[in-house]
Structure 1
Amino acid sequence: MRPAQAIHNWQADQKADPNMPEQKPQYVSAFRALSGYIKPHIWAFVGVFFCTLIAILSDLLQPFLMKIAIDDNLMAGKNDYRGLLIICAVYLGLSVSSFAFTYVQNNLLQHIGQSIVSRIRKQLFGHIMKQSMRYFDRMSSGSLITHVSSDTEALNQFFNQVLLSLFRDGLTLIFIIVMMFQLDTTLALYCLILLPIIAIIAIAFRSFMRATYQLARTRLSRMVAFVAENLSGMNLVQVFHQQKEQQKQFNERNGLYFKANLREIRTNVLFGRTFDILSNLSIALVTWIGGNAVLGQNLEFGVLYAFITYIRQFFQPINTITQQWNTLQSATVAVTRIWTVFESKPDVTDRESGRPALTPEKVKGRIDFDRISFSYEEGVPIIRELDLHIRPGELIGVVGTTGAGKSSLISLLCRFYDVLDGRVRIDGTDVRDIPQAELHRVVGLVQQEPYLYSGSIVDNVRMFDESISREEVIEACKFVGADAIIQRLKQGYDTHLSERGSGLSAGERQMISFARIIVFKPKVLILDEASANLDSQTEQLIQNALHVVSRNRTTIVIAHRLSTIMQADRIIVMSRGEIVEQGSHHQLLERGGHYRELYEHSQGHVAV
């Protein structure tokens, strides 16, 4: 996908995510599905609940102990040092208990959250790997990466932040109110007047905070996408001297994100300071009302002290719960998006067949395209009733202009897509009746841009299959002429390649992909523009290897360079999804049709 298209899709996703009106009904079902991952950890959640309960009680009993020390000892004029020592010991014990159970609670919840998210991430990646190529045509790679990384991380924050806040802060609020009523009903009722005020402030700030949060995230996303686009197209930026222009555009995006970030910070600070002011006013109110009661001998001083302490603690959990709103919203959207991926079903699936599966060892390599039709989009045909029959061991060249349907033909043989009409058969067996794992052992594909993984050259050739020995890998590399190239590397076959094999030339990467095909010994070999990026010397090496590899193996070569298929047994010329000519190189030149035009164009002069 081109960078411009990727950024367009990515920005469209970012704009759609905050509201997602089409997916709102799925919230409930998504969280219901999530409950299935929670059930195995139900006893761990019970442990978290009790740890949280003990930790909260340990914290909230400390002011009550101070009340006892003040009213029953200090204010009563007693010199009960033993009693004070016991209270201090209990106070210390409660502090240690609060620390210990909070530590256990946090670690237990972290373990639960990480286990659930790890399991979801594993299943999500596996589910994406099972999807058909049509799914990847619809979905941008950026969106899928976001699902596996950012969305699962948002889900992790739900368990470790939102859920913890609901457990701990919700129970803390309840117990604080209970303790205040235990101390003095009148003062407690005065404090409850604050609840509607707090609710109004929280609701007012919630919508404003959500807007600022989404604005900052959207602008950050656009800035990151702009950087990614420039990095992927850095050669064009430098060739056309666009550095200043791109820097100017980046500065604009960076400035917008800077302003949005400052706005988000100001909103959070204003929200926090508002609660601090309200907390201080509440303390002042309690001090004034309670102080008058103490002076009038209607209230004990220790009760007033404990009340003031509880009022200070009262606002912290409310503030924390309110600030978790954005995290909760992000997690809700993430869960819905993840389950949208889980609900997608592959278009191409193995189907049960009464016929025995094709055994790779017994495949002869006959291929039949029986009047097949295919299109990527409804109403836009790519291949129209194409009829082609290839004999076992035949070397076929396929040529045609861009959009003729060459690669689509190969995709149908590999069963990346299914035909709309007709059948594709190998040795008389419909490819739809062959399990995909077996089909891909029978059909080997070398593409124009070979994909190499992070790992050693040996692992890249044998695709991390330990059943293939190192000696077989070396023999295959010698067979295609890659051995001399590999031996020049510092660590030879143990050279560690980075992603996509950066550090190797296009020809060297292609040679390794050829060795990969040799190792797996497919009965049908497909080369899809495999020599398009090779220099003439490397192409000659590939041609020599291909000549040997194609023996006793059905080979289909799609090529723009006609020199790669001039020696083919038969050349198929395609145009607009149909076969317009077929024959040998000399036969097609003598006809003076499409192939001759392609040949003359490739030679740069008129052939005679």
Structure 2
Amino acid sequence: MSQTSSTTKASTSTSAPIRYEALRAILAYARPHRWTFVGIFFATMLAIAADLLQPYLVKIVIDDHIAAGQNGLPFLTGMAAVYLGLAVVSFIFSYVQSNLLQYVGQHIVASIRNDLFAHITKLPMSFFDRSSSGGLVTNVSSDTETISQFFTQVLLSLIRDGMMLVFIIYFMFRLDTTLAWYSMITLPVIATLAILFRGKLRQVYQYTRSRLSKLVGFTAENLSGMGLIQIFHQEKEQKKRFNEYNADYWQANVEQLKSNVFFNRTFDILGNIALVLMVWLGGMAVFNKQIEVGVLYAFISYIRQFFQPINQITMQWNTFQSTTVSMDRIWRILKLQPQIQDPAPEQAVTVDLNKVKGKVDFNHISFGYDQDQTVIPHLDLHIQAGEMIGVVGTTGAGKSTLIALLNRFYDVNKGSVTIDDIDLRHMPQETLHRIVGLIQQEPFLFSGSIIDNVRMFQPQISDEQVIEACKFVGAHEMITRLPLKYDTRLSERGSGLSAGERQLISFARIVVFRPKVLILDEATANLDSHTEQLVQQALDTVSHGRTTIVIAHRLSTIMHADRILVMEHGEIIEQGTHAQLVAQHGTYAKLYLHARQSNQQVIQA
């Protein structure tokens, strides 16, 4: 933990400009609500004034009437009514102020959360390659909730307690200047303690947030891979690892609580010492006839209240430390600029989707995920419109990279990728993703109905179009057997449906959105033979009239392709029809022979 703390300390000490930039960016969200904040300010001022006038009224009653021997009942009744009125005014405006601030705070945080989620969806695939899903979940949920505390707690304390402190100091000096100056001695002591605790508290909060992200990330990872965990009987091992992450987070929380308690109790002790000192000094002044009893009563009331706003502000300082950590984390994401940008208006090419033919060209491209590692050193590939291309190769050959470049998840380092001779970098991404359709090995289904999953929650696509698409790919019969048919609700990732059924729904999506270029990334790799036949029939159906690129794990999927590419180390080493490649007795022929032998062994078994 010491190593982690030192690392955190180093990062915090070097990120002061980023913290300021983050704070300024988050506060910009408050600008549209500035008039509401003006209302909060005046409501707070009236509530505090009504609250602090009450001890002064009691002072007038004690010194000017009771001590002077005046026992006028009408006067006392009137003062009691005024006192009650002030209490009611304080309650009403405190209520208004709190509700206004909560309303504004929740609106601001909702805006931040919306912008953060929208920004994350625009970030490149390289960002998700190096970022854990658990950390991003923490950013969107927990970190934004912590920022909510800034607006609903910290900001409230700065406005209310700051104004209260100013009013109290004013009344204290109005009552007795000497006692007021004695009270001011505590302010430098408070400032010194806050500075001493500041660095320590920030380190603790930073460490706690990082432990929480790791715990959430580990939990999300295990929930996604629960089937694998149970198959390999990893429950005990994963529980052990979870306990370790949980213990780290528990330890960080305990350290945070210990720091907070020590910080707050220090101020409590300081406040009690100051109160005792003021009682002793004020009592001596009363005995020496230097001040009146009512003044001492009011002063003691104010000195007790004097430490309440200070204590609240210092307590909120702890919350502010936690908030700045969350602001840093969110701002580091928000300030990231997506590497894949839409073209500038003067460079953008307008594409008529109805006239797209689907000709695809990889023109002398090279690509690497980083500067030190080239995945595709050089590739020149030209695919005719309507042609069906199969791509095979060992793991790491560059098959999936090729598809990622065609979807423009990444940009090539050299050369260009074009569709109908239009460079993808000159095409808006929305247009590109209407032209290119992707079916992955594990189709992703969202929580929602089957019909919404097919049309991807696009209300302009009618129910009839969805049903027609499902009939087209052979999914209609399967769907109509379900209790609620197309209105059947699916849970996350479509649990409850078989792999083949989920894949058929993803094929129906393609029919609905009608892309001219279709990519299948090992779409039949995890299917049994019967389901593969169904999906193969759906593939033959949806690929008709489209340029189709099939990354194959099973060679049976691409044997009837117009052309088959064999890739190795990012280059095409063989290409031709199935018959031509088998006749060459090269890499493809070896793969085909191995596949046949495996199938025969399965049949004999």
The reply on whether 1:346 has 2:366 as its aligned counterpart is: no
Match runs of 1:134-533 below 5 Å: 134-214=126-206, 216-251=208-243, 254-255=246-247, 257-351=249-343, 352=345, 356-533=349-526
Q: Aligned partner of 1:507: which letter?
A: G
3-state SS, counterpart of residue 368 of structure 2: strand
The offset of 1:205, in angstroms, is: 4.4
The one-letter code matched in structure 1 to 2:490 is L
Structure 1, 21-30 or 477-486: larger mean CA deviation: 21-30
3-state SS of the aligned residue for 1:380?
Answer: coil
8 A contact 2:362–2:416 mirrored in 1: yes
Which whole-Å CA distance do the structure 2 matches of 1:409 and 1:142 have between them? 29
1:380-424 deviation line (CA, Å, top 9, x unaligned): 221232122222221111111111111111122222222222222
CA drift at 1:457: 0.4
1:270 to 1:428, Cα distance in 2 relative to 1, 3 A? closer
Q: Which moved more, 1:385-394 or 1:331-340?
A: 331-340
Partner of 1:127: 119
Distance 1:429 1:21, change over 3 A: same
Q: Is the 8 A contact 1:13 1:143 kept in 2?
A: no
Relative distance call for 1:412 and 1:250 in structure 2 (3 A) is closer
* Offset from partner CA, 1:259-304 (integer Å, 9 cap, x none): 5544544444444444333333333322222222223322211111
| Aligned residue number for residue 39 of structure 1 | 31
CA distance in 2, matches of 1:158, 1:410: 44
Residue of structure 1 in register with 2:532 after alignment = 539
| Deviation at residue 526 of structure 1 after TM alignment | 1.1
- Return the alpha-carbon distance in structure 2 between the equivalents of residues 224 and 144 of structure 1: 9
Gap change, CA 1:101 and 1:463, over 3 Å in 2: same
> How far is 1:427 from its partner?
2.0
Distance, in Å, in 2 between the alignment partners of 1:512 and 1:383 is 33
Q: Distance in 2 between matches of 1:539 and 1:192?
A: 82
TM-score norm. by structure 1 comes to 0.91
Residues 366 and 204 from structure 1, CA distance in 2 versus in 1: closer, same or farther, beyond 3 angstroms?
Answer: closer
Could you tell me the TM-score, scaled by structure 2's length? Answer: 0.92
- 1:336 and 1:204, CA in 2 relative to 1: closer, same or farther beyond 3 A? closer
Q: Assess, with a 3 A threshold, how the Cα gap between structure 1 residues 505 and 203 changes in structure 2: closer, same or farther.
A: same
Structure 1 residue 601: deviation in Å?
A: 2.1
Counterpart-to-counterpart distance in 2, 1:134 and 1:223: 23
What is residue 96 of structure 2 aligned with on the other side? 104
Query: Which of 576, 590, 599 is residue 597 of structure 1 equivalent to?
Result: 590
Q: Following the alignment from structure 1 to structure 2, what is the Cα–Cα distance between the partners of residues 518 and 238? A: 37
**Quick one: structure 1 residues 270 and 606, their matched pair in 2 at CA, closer, same or farther if it must change by over 3 Å?**
closer
Select which of 16, 22, 28 maps to 1:24.
Answer: 16
Conserved in 1, the CA contact under 8 Å of 2:29 and 2:108? Answer: yes
Report deviation, 1:250.
4.4
Q: What amino acid sits opposite 1:454 in the alignment? A: S
Q: Tell me how large the CA RMSD over aligned residues is.
A: 2.7
Deviations 1:469-512 (A, max 9, x none): 11111111122111122122221100111121122221111110
Matched, 1:88 2:75: no
SS of residue in 2 equivalent to 1:397: strand
Aligned length: 597
Identical aligned residues as a percent: 60
Secondary structure, in 3 states, of the residue corresponding to 1:464? coil
The range that moved more, 543-552 or 131-140, is: 131-140
- Is 1:569 equivalent to 2:562 in the alignment? yes
Q: CA deviation at 1:582?
A: 1.0
Between 1:480-489 and 1:222-231, the stretch displaced more is 222-231
User: Residue type matched to 1:580 in 2?
Assistant: I
Residues 310-367 of structure 1 deviation map (CA, whole Å, 9 limit, x = unaligned): 1111111111111222322232233333333232222222224568522111122222
In structure 2, do the counterparts of structure 1 residues 151 and 457 end up closer, same or farther at CA, with 3 Å as the change threshold?
A: same
Structure 2: distance between partners of 1:439 and 1:252? 45
Q: Which runs of 5+ in 2 are unaligned?
A: 601-605
Q: Which segment is superposed worse, 54-63 or 424-433? A: 424-433
Corresponding letter in the other structure for 1:62: Q
The 1-side partners of 2:210 and 2:194 are apart by: 24
Which sections of structure 1, spanning at least 5 residues, go unmatched?
1-10
Report the Cα offset of residue 94 of structure 1.
1.0
Kindly tell me: are residues 212 and 420 of structure 1, through their superposed partners in 2, closer, same or farther at Cα, counting changes over 3 Å?
closer
Q: In 1, Cα distance between the equivalents of 2:356 and 2:425?
A: 16
Q: What is the SS of the residue equivalent to 1:527?
A: strand
Tell me the secondary structure at the aligned position of residue 376 of structure 1: coil
The answer to whether the 8 A contact 1:357-1:433 is kept is no
Q: Which residue of 2 aligns with 1:588?
A: 581
In 1, the alpha carbon distance for the partners of 2:250 and 2:517 equals: 57
The answer as to whether partners of 1:15 and 1:218 remain within 8 angstroms in 2 is: no
Quick one: which amino acid aligns to residue 394 of structure 1? Answer: E
